A and B are shown apart, each in its own frame.
Chain A
Amino acid sequence: MRDTLYTDVLLGESYREIRHPSGLTIRVLHKDGYKSSFALFATKYGSIDTRIEQPDGSFRAIPEGTAHFLEHKLFESEDLDAFARFAKTGANANAFTSFDMTAYLFSGAACFSENLEILLDFVQSPYFTEQTVRKEQGIIGQEIRMYRDSADWEVEFNLLRALYHHHPVRIDIAGTEQTIAEISADLLYDCYRNFYNLHNMVLAVAGNATVEEVLAVADKVLKPAVGKSAVREFVPEPKAPAQSYIEERMPVNVPSFALGYKEAISAPERTGKEVLCTEVLLDAVAGRSSALYERLLREGLINTGFGAQYFYGFGYANCEFSGESADPKRAAAEIRKAVAAARQTGIDRESFERARRKLYGRIVMGFNDVQSVAVDMVESYFAGDDLFERARVCRDMTLEDVNARLKEILDDETAALSVVLPADGKEA
């Protein structure tokens, strides 16, 4: 068992990373004075994993939405389901599926060891039958419909469909009512065996709990993993978007837009430095203290919900500018002009320093929240980093780093615009 202590003196935080004999990596950040603990047990299996590796090394397709469906079903067991077990401790339990992971979690201020035991146990105990699978299709069908009526969701997924030709980031996380109808209990077992291997997973705990408490439960409950990590395919994408414009009509009052710049990537994952430099430059170009933000606001083209974000995962990366606008096309045109100008001149030192300090402050603030710490421990682990990488890179970053990064991304030829317009409105 390897046990490593990581400390960041300037942040005033430490955590331990343990390679457990079962094959699972465990990260624990203890916080003095906190009453609650937040635990996240996650597997590197998300909606983008639409193909699974066969014994002969080839890949076969599985229905869209399977990872999310499996997440719902894992809460059930032959006798007491996981929610009923957590009801006996008072913890708040939940789970989520994203593009590249599925995570099961609880937060609680009492009975930590019992809670952790339930979490590790139910995730390791799949129980699927044709009957329970059919029952879930009704519930998830309503979840899918709920998201389809959300303009924020639609504008985002339409953008991904416009940007990507093949990459499965372009499909809905929960799949569609048609694809989930193809899911069977046998298929869920296949996916479970492939992706829910402790080598493919991580446990992160932040808050009141100690390493000793976590290990006592882990030693008792974790079953040694056989097999290896699941393998992901890197699907190369053309540089240009699949389509440069996509529009949907919905019953909304305020139109919304998402302008995305697809990044040309030759390796599937981004380094911490690439991510942080991108975040700083997006804030310098379009953040609340930028000239662009002030101008768009003054001209009535955005409101205070406007923002830019770097969106990335295995095999995909793009910069997005999104918000609500009475005139989405004009807003997007103005942003494109400002981005092109910034690429010509580079970011100035003052804007860089403002954006860097802001980002550093936000990283510091994130350590208040045990949920955010646990999520960051999982994400950084899957990215191959330690938890303090972001803070460190942010402290060491230079203007030259950011301007070099700017030359690599935000090429106007890679942009696509997604808009949602009112169903009864005029042409935008």
Chain B
Amino acid sequence: MSEPLLMTIADGVELCAVQTDMFKTCKINIMMALPLAGDIAAKAALPYLLRRSCRAYPSVTSLNGRLDTLYGAVLGASVMKKGEAQILNLSLSAIDDRFALDGESVSGEAVRLLLDMLFEPKLEDGTFPQDDIDAEKRLLLERMRAEDDDKRTYARRRCEEVMCADEAYSRNRYGTAQEIESLTGARVYAAWREALETAVIRIVTVSSGTPDAVRGQLSARFGTLERRVAAIETQFIPDAAGEKYERETQPLMQGTLVMGFRCGMHASEDMDPAMTVAADIFGGGTYSKLFTIVREQMSLCYFCAARLNRDKGILLVSSGIETENESKTREAILEQLRAVQNGEFDAEMLETSLRSLRDSVRSYTDSPDVLCAWYANQIFRGTAKTPQQRIAEYDAVTLEQVQAAAQKITPDTVFMLAGTGEEHHA
């Protein structure tokens, strides 16, 4: 596998190319970052609308039929939140030409198709057709509402909303239902131009081909644009101002407790990787405090895990529990945090955590999807740090750094999705 090549295609547009023949596929991922502000709903609708059809394949059936013919090429569209950036993603994986049964070129066609979709969408009278907009409006609303049907996702989202109520981060990445319902072709067209002309863009490829071909295609497309790159900033609040509590009851068998913490961070690279290690010892793997004590010793739950969000400097602990065990579980979780803060973990525990973290980073190069995500996530740093370099950073972490990082963690918000514990009605 080659070292990644990082190239500037246009102002604010980077290509990060990894060349390897280890895989059966070629993969290309286009990540476009915009501020989590303005017409969020129109921007959220954009990747899904581009995924729907394009000028060359103007219907759902024709575009999907084309993908099938390209040996089931997988075309992905998604919207994410990364700190206070709204991330629009388009990606495509297709089998490498070596595995095509009739000797046809698949990967070159696939890359061209993805770029066609981004640059040559289906337009009518200079804008997106209203019936396509209406169809995608419904799908976006259902997607947003269906996400809340996963109670764990819902409880985490609610905790973040309460915790970050006064920050842009509390905005839903799809916008509000009202904003979606009122979407027009003109608004999504404006979002498309905004994305092409102002987004911070990183394209990552993992394929057996040389980067020159894709670089040429990208330069030809982006070279025609007048770019003025948007400034994207995330507000970091290092310390909790006080403890907030919110509770909601639903007719559920199980309750979900989510506790939100601030991590003393002023930027995403603060205390890196010590904070990652602290979060891992607190509630990462099966050796963590939360797993070994709260689950295994106290039998309070099936899952209890801590997840650090570096892009926002917050940490969430979530756990599925008997509703009546809420206060007992909260106390147990805080007690385990205090244990990490008091340095109640030894060099062996630190090494256990580091071994596990290093092991998973070492595996990144075994998956084109994971590798793509690894390089795409460095979008705001302008770097192409390799997994190997990340391992070296873990090697340098000390016990003192981890304890010091843990001591910066302060409890901010508790969200309890209480269940009634009753059976649902058949």
Contact = CB atoms under 8 A, between A and B. Distances in A.
Interface of A: 10-12, 31-36, 83-84, 86-93, 107-110, 135-136, 138-140, 142-143, 145-146, 148-151, 154, 158, 207, 246-254, 287-291, 293-294, 297-298, 300, 303-305, 324, 326, 354-355, 357-362, 364-365, 367-370, 395, 423
B250 A251 contact: yes
A361 B73 CA distance: 7
B61 A291 contact: yes
B390 interface: no
A354 B61 CA distance: 12
A288 B99 contact: no
Interface in B47-88: 59-61, 64-65, 67-74
A108 B359 contact: yes
A303 B424 contact: no
B60 A357 contact: no
Nearest to A326: B142
15 contacts: A12-B98, A36-B359, A87-B352, A88-B355, A138-B299, A139-B301, A142-B254, A146-B320, A149-B254, A246-B426, A250-B424, A354-B65, A357-B71, A359-B72, A360-B72
A360 to B, nearest CB: 6
A11 B100 CA distance: 10
| 7 A-B pairs with least C-beta separation | A361-B71, A90-B355, A358-B72, A138-B299, A361-B72, A109-B362, A90-B359
Contacts, number: 202
Interface in B76-133: 93-95, 98-99, 101
Given A33-B22, A146-B254, A358-B72, A109 B101 contact: no
Among B25, B72, B424, which residue has the most Cβ atoms of chain A within 10 A? B72
A390 B299 CA distance: 43
Given A248-B424, A324-B146, A368 B250 contact: no
Among B1, B25, B285, B424, which residue has the most Cβ atoms of chain A within 10 A? B424
Given A139-B295, A251-B250, A358-B71, A364 B65 contact: no
Interface string B348-366: 0000100110111011011
Contacts of B303: 146
Interface residues of B, number: 71
Nearest to A207: B366
B117 to A, nearest CB: 15
B381 interface: no
B253 A92 contact: no
B211 interface: no
A370 B366 CA distance: 8
Contacts of B426: 158, 246-249
Among A88, A246, A357, which residue has the most Cβ atoms of chain B within 10 A? A357
Nearest to B60: A294
Contact of A289 (B68, B93, B142): B68
Contacts of A360: 71-72, 101
B301 A142 contact: yes
B368 interface: yes
